[in-house]
Structure 1
Amino acid sequence: MSEMVLYEKHGPVAVLTINNPPVNVFSPGVPEGIKAGLERGNADPEVKAFVLIGGGRSFIAGADVKTFNLPREQQPDMRGTIAKLEANPKPVVAAMHGNALGGGLEVAMGCHYRVASRALKVGQPEVKLGVIPGAGGTQRLPRVIPLQEALTMIVTGNPISAEKAHEFGLIDELIEGDLLEGAVQFAQRAGESGELPKIRDRDVKLDIPAHMFFNVATERVRKEARGLIAPLLCLEAVKGAVELPFDEGLQREGELFLQAQRSDQSRGLRHIFFAEREAAKINGVDRSVKPREIRSAGVLGAGTMGGGIAMNFANAGIPVTIYEANAENLERGLATIRRNYENTAKKGRLTLEQVEERMALIRGTLSFEDLADADYVIEAVFEDMNVKREVFGRLDAVCKPGAILASNTSTLDVNEIARATSRPEQVLGMHFFSPANVMKLLEIVRPDKVDDQTLVTSVQLAKTLGKVGVVVGVCDGFVGNRMINQYGREAQQMVEEGASPRQVDDAMHALGLPMGPFEMSDMAGLDIGYAIRQRQAQEAGREKSDTFMDRIVEAGRKGQKTGAGVYSYANGRTPEVDPVAEQIIQDSRAEKGVEPRELTQEEITKRLVYQLVNEGAKILEEGIAQRASDIDVIYVYGYGFPASRGGPMHYAETVGLENVLADIKEFHEQHGDTWKPAPLLERLVREGKTFRDALSAQPSAVS
């Protein structure tokens, strides 16, 4: 018996417990253990039935994604295991709790019966990694539950509850109380009857008007897939379940799985899957350092950002106090939070009782001293260094010893902010992205003197708040905004040369981004970029910045919030080309003596993405980012770079770093020093290496 699958007898029932923590993925050793357990129980005349259950917190959370790139013969034998379960002469009962996802659900469907705890989630999320179910999921699920429901689960990858699965017939019985005890009793009854189910799932015949059903389904999936191939391959595989005998459909599923697995889209999605998990590791911090417990929080500022941050704490069940100096602003901020929750309730994602529970965790105050007992305090005040320093000086005086003080600054020097306190080892940046209650990314900014426990606590807090936390170093704009500054500057430069904002944005849509640079700027507020440009101009010794974007802001157009920016928003949030902005652009070109030229979509795409890549390489070499994959995570979760492209650094490796560098050198000759190649990029190309190899220049990750 494999140690990954434990065997014990409960009277006439053999219990096979999967022991592959933390979530029992289907790794090498698991299939061998299941098969050996079946053989042992089948050889024992006292055993009348089996229970297959997961140890710890889950049944089987899915296939081991780490094995996807292995040769087929080296991958865990999931199909063979399922076939063994299905053909077993004694009843096998899958007892499911936690998650039964992907391969986990496929294994369960190979069993003769399925029972579950009510907290179970079941699903086929393979599409979210750019693949399709590959061990019979597309063939068995449509035979077990209604075809439309099966297709929706497989194409979207979204899980369903145990109650819904029971309603559909996917689960035979919901167990109240102890799952193992209930499953053993169920298996004992099945074993005593001496009969397997009369019809195996694989033998169910699907009798539906397939042609009409799949014509409608194909049109819907194609529209919702937005250029992704895996949802369409899922549809094709499910179609095989209806039109082909089971074994032929299974063969077709395998062929489609390999087609999806070998695609660039799947490689990109799997890259992000692993990159997100890698981002939680902190270079140079020993894994023995444990986080502090955060029982209460404080937020300075009841504006859009402060209110959103406070909602994150309430959503996580952590009481939070919001300080605001102005009573009217505080009242407005709390009203906005309530409205946001009530709108969520109207969409069915919260109950009215949950709205009140979360509002009860949020307390507004006009007294700075009410922050004194908070374990973790985040400021979200005006982006000005003098204001930040004053705020942190006051926090240092008021907050209890050991309290962590964090700044939500998006660009400012967190080292300087920390110096305004007597506790720089407990000060860092926590850069939320707007809207803070929605966006998953959280840049955790690591200043020079912050201690390891503060850093580890902040990384853990990001998880608690449901964020993807990425540790970054201190520089102007950190990782995300430093790179987006180059991206936005290049977008503006191309408009100066002759492209229209619409052309530039559409090039990014074609790449898969939901918004282009000008649409994004309008949504964020053009006054934010304006303030940054003016600060940077003054720091560079210039009187002011004077681009066409500056002129648009100076004309009172600050984006969506004022109804006009680069675009107009007469019809809500839909950007429409605006003749006023167009005239400002034309006037700016004329004053500078620029003769407009045509730019191709290919040039626009390269110039935008390769600016990200080149700046990312500089950031990586400086140690501002711990690893290239962290940059990809930041751009996927914070800026809408398509996960199927794997982020800008992975995308560059897909194109070929040597090809990217060749184009950058050409742009350098044409457009000057804003295109000077990053030394790291040149070195990697010269040595035939990738961005992953750049880790060797940084401290080892030990946590």
Structure 2
Amino acid sequence: MASGQTLDAVRESAQSINDVTTYARVGTVAVITIDSPPVNALGGAVRRGLMDAFARAADDSEAHAVVLACAGRTFIAGADIREFDAPDPDAPDLLDVLARIDACPKPTVAAIHGTALGGGLETALCCHYRVATPSAKVGLPEVALGLLPGAGGTQRLPRIVGAQTALEMMVLGKPVAAAPAHEIGLIDTIVEGDLLEGAIAFARNAVLSGAPPVPVRERSEGLSLPHDAELFARFRADNARAFKGYQAPENIVRAVEAAVTLPFEAGMRREAELFQELFASRQSAALRYLFFAERQTARVPDLPTGTPKRPIAKVGVIGAGTMGSGIAMNFLSAGIPVTLVEQEDAALERGVAAIRRNYEISLKKGKLTPATLDACTERLHPSLDMADLCEADLIIEAVFEKMTLKQEIFARLDGIARPGAILATNTSFLDINAIAAATSRPGDVIGLHFFSPANVMRLLEVVRGSATRPDVVATAMGLARTIAKIPVLSGVCDGFIANRMMTPRMDAAQALILEGPLPWEVDKAMVAYGFAMGPFAMLDLVGLDVIGWDPATSTSSTVTQVLCETGRWGQKRQAGFYDYDATRRPSPSPVTEALVREFQFRAETQPRLFSGEEIVERLLLPVVNEGARILEEGIALRASDIDVALVMGYGWPPVTGGPMFWADTVGLEKIIARLEAIGETPAPLLRRLADDGAALHTWPATA
């Protein structure tokens, strides 16, 4: 039967089970179709449809096999996460639905296109067979939400692919493409032509084979794969660094251990226990919060509905340094041509070489093909003439952080850029309005603050000036998604959101070492909290000489100034706050300790011991306070935007949810009391919310 005829047969015999589910029969094969845009998530209506449709299929004497398919752009992409925190989710429960699919006495085939993730793959695992298009992807990424697959995934997947592969899929959480999924036995066949036609043919052949279908729960080939008693201990040891600070990976390992050592039903009970432990944890609550917060950042409440977006077909970047070349890569990788402009040929060549080198690194890691590398580099047009930007739809300035220089460039662009072109600055601190004032078109000027390395970091602060037009804002927010960034809208202030927020942390760290703790003790507390590195290690990495130190005006009045004056600039000099060996491995420095002790003596305060918790509070409470001020000033739209900015831009540990979410877990009353104890004036917003018994991380409630 040709593909068109197959579709016609399904349509002609289709009967509605409910608003999102139909039941049809093509000869002796029942076809159950889910159509619940946008991603066929396992919400209440889908669960009811599946329950009733599989009951009908089991009772249909003329149906000898069943195909489960989905309309739209994807198979079931996962559970409806919005229901996770619902006090009384709609019946039926997903486990009951999957038990019905699992118990179907007739061969069942999941026809997968797009993605089958989380609950979607767990649904497919309850079918006897899985077929897929070549472009399909499957996976169990619940670890990203601080959870484990809680609908049998930890028990069924190892039975097919083995414990080792199952652990890798669930702990790493990365989707697997159809071809490798077929190689490990997770996908039974790849359908090159029409998926539905191929799935129906596969189902017919399964019936004709005469072999009784075996539910995955009863299969054991994966559990029979060679593995020794040390597999789980070895996996823990090999991934200890990735596990650090996270609960979900360990619970996933325990669940897979149960799959290997216990009967299926006992393993399911163990999975449920381990899932519930995670679901009730603060970590999972924080990660689920961030999941929704990321998706909300692009929503700008005060943009009129239907605000048009300007087409961006060509981009210009001024400055081929580290930031400029990294910014250019984002657009090149998205298929957008870039003209990269520098003043001097040597600087331009370095920038082009850096772009090529970064792509070649990705090629070696298997992240792109040679053809993709060539296509990206062919889109790059180096130039020494700013006039070559005359046809660009978007021009991004990425030069040294000096106001007069940026104003000079924007004044020149005013006479070069075509009418309607967006003029953007990558400044991380400077006043966007003052830069826009250098042009005759301030409405076309916006800040696009990329974080270093710009081709890697996911955060993009979109800074709206007082004159920036709505369509420019809408274009920038949409474009961020095009180049795989998370956009956070900011108003104009010194440092915008992320840099302004984290400045108090550095100030507090510098002040704290005068009271007793040494730099590495401060760093140790921050790493224990969950940061990848502490503030002093970060200063050494960036370079003490590039964070505002000027040898012409240095007065030896701070520890940092003295370190700079003596040539201790950080890792690049093998000496900063730490000493570094030839491999840049740090060790506490006796020189720095003596210097800090000298400054402590000058401060005339009695140094004392600080606990790790005290150090964390001293450094992070001022960050929370600054965040509340940012909200009061309208610099950020939402508290959740601040959390996303700090997690994505500064490596704030995701398991804490970000500073605003963390503040609520500590308690706003305690936050206020501790701020007052360290001599900080709490922001009025904190007091108002505490008095009202309201939360900070959901402010404003109407956003």
Q: Does TM, scored on the shorter chain, surpass 0.5? A: yes
Superposition map of 1:53-202 within 5 A: 53-71=69-87, 74=90, 77-193=93-209, 196-197=212-213, 199-202=214-217
Distance 2:210 2:305 in 1: 52
Question: Which residues of 2 match residues 504-583 of structure 1 at below 5 A?
Answer: 504-530=522-548, 546-583=557-594
Q: TM-score normalised to the size of structure 2?
A: 0.93
Distance (whole Å) between structure 1 residues aligned to residue 393 and residue 501 of structure 2: 33
**Alignment partner, residue 675 of structure 2:** 664
Return the alpha-carbon distance in structure 2 between the equivalents of residues 12 and 592 of structure 1. 87
Indicate the structure whose relative CO is greater, using CA pairs within 8 Å and at least 6 residues apart. 1
SS at match of 2:514: helix
Residue in 2 aligned with 1:629?
Answer: 640
Equivalent of 2:297 in 270, 275, 279:
279
In structure 1, how many angstroms separate the alpha carbons of the residues matched to 2:207 and 2:21?
22
Question: Conserved in 1, the CA contact under 8 Å of 2:664 and 2:697?
Answer: no
The residue that corresponds to 2:661 in the other structure is 650
Give the counterpart letter for 2:312 in structure 1.
Answer: I
Aligned to 2:8: none
- For residues 470 and 150 of structure 2, the distance between their equivalents in structure 1, rounded to whole angstroms, comes to 43
Rounded Cα–Cα distance in structure 1 between residues aligned with 2:565 and 2:227: 62
Residues 56-87 of structure 1: CA deviation (Å, up to 9, x unaligned): 22111111111112347646622112111121
Instruction: Please state whether the residue corresponding to 1:489 is helix, strand or coil.
Output: helix
Written as runs of structure 1 = structure 2, the 5 A alignment for 1:76-475 is: 77-193=93-209, 196-197=212-213, 199-205=214-220, 206-207=223-224, 211-475=229-493
Structure 2 CA distance for aligned equivalents of residues 448 and 75 of structure 1: 50
> Which amino acid counterpart does residue 17 of structure 1 have in structure 2?
T
Give the distance between the partners of 1:24 and 1:71, measured in 2 at CA.
22
Q: CA RMSD in A?
A: 2.2
Is the CA contact 1:530–1:553 (under 8 Å) kept in the aligned structure 2? no
Question: 1:47: which partner in 2?
Answer: 63
Q: Distance in 2 between matches of 1:272 and 1:75?
A: 27
SS class of match (2:513): helix
CA distance in 2: counterparts of 1:562 and 1:20, whole angstroms: 59
Counterparts of 2:374 and 2:642, CA distance in 1: 38
Partner of 1:5: 21
Distance in 1, matches of 2:349 and 2:229, equals 58
Equivalent pair of 2:182/2:190 in contact (CA under 8 Å): yes
**Given that residues 515 and 640 in structure 1 are in contact (C-alpha distance below 8 angstroms), is that contact kept between their aligned partners in structure 2?**
no
Q: Cα gap change, 1:573/1:405 in structure 2, threshold over 3 Å: closer, same or farther?
A: farther
Unaligned runs of 5+ in 1: 669-674
| CA displacement at 1:90 relative to structure 2 | 2.6
**1:227 aligned counterpart, secondary structure:** coil
- TM-superposed deviation, 1:144: 0.9
Structure 1 residues 520-579: Cα deviation after superposition (integer angstroms, max 9, x where no partner): 222233334326x999xx9xxxx9894222332343443334443322333344333334
Q: Structure 1 pair 311/223, CA: closer, same or farther in 2 (3 Å)? A: closer
* CA deviation after TM superposition for structure 1 residue 688, in Å: 1.0
Tell me, yes or no, if the aligned pair for 1:684 and 1:690 is still in contact at 8 Å: yes
* Number of the residue aligned with 2:9: none
Number of equivalenced pairs: 684
SS in 2 for 1:626: coil
Residues 163 and 260, structure 2, Cα contact 8 Å, conserved in 1: no
Q: Which amino acid aligns with 1:259?
A: E
In 1: Cα distance, 2:24 partner to 2:212 partner:
22
Q: Could you tell me whether the CA contact under 8 Å between 2:551 and 2:565 is conserved in 1? A: no
Shift of 1:231: 0.7
Aligned to 2:3: none
Cα deviation, residue 17, structure 1: 2.1
Indicate the residue corresponding to 1:489 in structure 2. Answer: 507
- Distance change (3 Å), C-alpha of 1:367 and 1:218: closer
Q: Is the alpha carbon distance of 1:545 and 1:688 closer, same or farther for their aligned partners in structure 2, counting shifts above 3 Å? A: farther
- Distance across 1 between alignment mates of 2:71 and 2:556: 62
CA drift at 1:210 = 5.9
Determine helix, strand or coil for the equivalent of 2:624.
helix
Contact 1:68 1:75 (8 Å CA) reproduced: no
Q: Which moved more, 1:351-360 or 1:403-412?
A: 351-360
Q: Is the 8 A contact 2:182 2:189 kept in 1?
A: yes
Distance in 2 of aligned mates of 1:545 and 1:466? 44
Instruction: Kindly indicate whether the alpha-carbon contact (under 8 Å) linking 2:137 and 2:178 is maintained by their aligned counterparts in 1.
Output: yes
Residue 599 (structure 1) shift: 2.2
Match of 2:614 in 1: 603
Judge which range, 463-472 or 17-26, deviates more.
Answer: 17-26
Query: Could you tell me which amino acid in structure 1 is paired with residue 387 of structure 2?
Result: E
- 1:557–1:295 Cα change, 3 Å: farther
Aligned residue for 1:23, secondary structure, equals coil
CA contact (8 A) 1:86 1:110 kept: yes
CA–CA distance in structure 2, aligned partners of residues 106 and 571 of structure 1:
49
**Is the 1:563–1:569 contact (alpha carbons within 8 Å) kept by the matching residues of 2?**
yes
Deviations 1:332-372 (A, max 9, x none): 11112222222222233233333222211212110001111
Secondary structure at 2:691's aligned position in 1? helix
| CA deviations over 1:455-491 (Å, ceiling 9, x no partner) | 1111111111111111111100011111111110000
Aligned to 2:12: none
Query: Cα gap change, 1:393/1:160 in structure 2, threshold over 3 Å: closer, same or farther?
Result: same
In structure 1, distance between residues paired with 2:587 and 2:301: 46
What residue identity is the alignment partner of 2:439? T
2:268 match: secondary structure? helix
Aligned AA for 1:647?
A: G
Q: How far 1:495 sits from its partner (Å)?
A: 1.0
Does residue 681 (structure 1) correspond to residue 681 (structure 2)? The answer is no
**Structure 1 residues 429 and 73: CA distance shift in structure 2, 3 A:** closer
1:53–1:96: 8 Å Cα contact kept in structure 2?
Answer: yes
- The secondary structure found in structure 2 opposite 1:94 is strand
Contact between 1:48 and 1:192, CA under 8 Å: does it hold in 2?
no
Verify the 8 A CA contact 1:112 1:196 in the aligned structure 2. Answer: no
Q: Percent identity?
A: 48
In the alignment, does 2:686 pair up with 1:695? no
The verdict on how the C-alpha distance between 1:60 and 1:338 changes in structure 2, with shifts beyond 3 A counting, is: same
Question: Pick from 504, 517, 521: which aligns with 1:503?
Answer: 521
Contact 1:50 1:92 in 2 (8 A): yes
Aligned partners of 1:5 and 1:520: how far apart in 2?
54
What is the CA–CA distance in structure 2 between the aligned matches of 1:76 and 1:620, rounded to whole Å?
41
* Alignment gaps of 5+ in structure 2: 1-16
Change (3 A) 1:25 1:528: farther
Greater Cα offset, 169-178 or 522-531:
522-531
Provide Cα deviations, 1:99-138, integer angstroms capped at 9, x if missing partner. 1111111000101211001111111111111111111001
Taking a change above 3 Å as real, the CA distance of residues 468 and 164 of structure 1, as seen in their structure-2 partners, is same
What SS does the aligned partner of 1:318 have? coil
2:114–2:137 CA contact under 8 A, matched in 1 = yes
Q: Is the 8 A contact 1:308 1:437 kept in 2?
A: yes
> Is the alpha carbon distance of 1:76 and 1:100 closer, same or farther for their aligned partners in structure 2, counting shifts above 3 Å?
farther
Q: Per-residue deviation at 1:497?
A: 1.8
What secondary structure does 1:148 align onto?
Answer: helix
Mapped to 2, the partners of 1:693 and 1:235 lie a distance apart of: 34
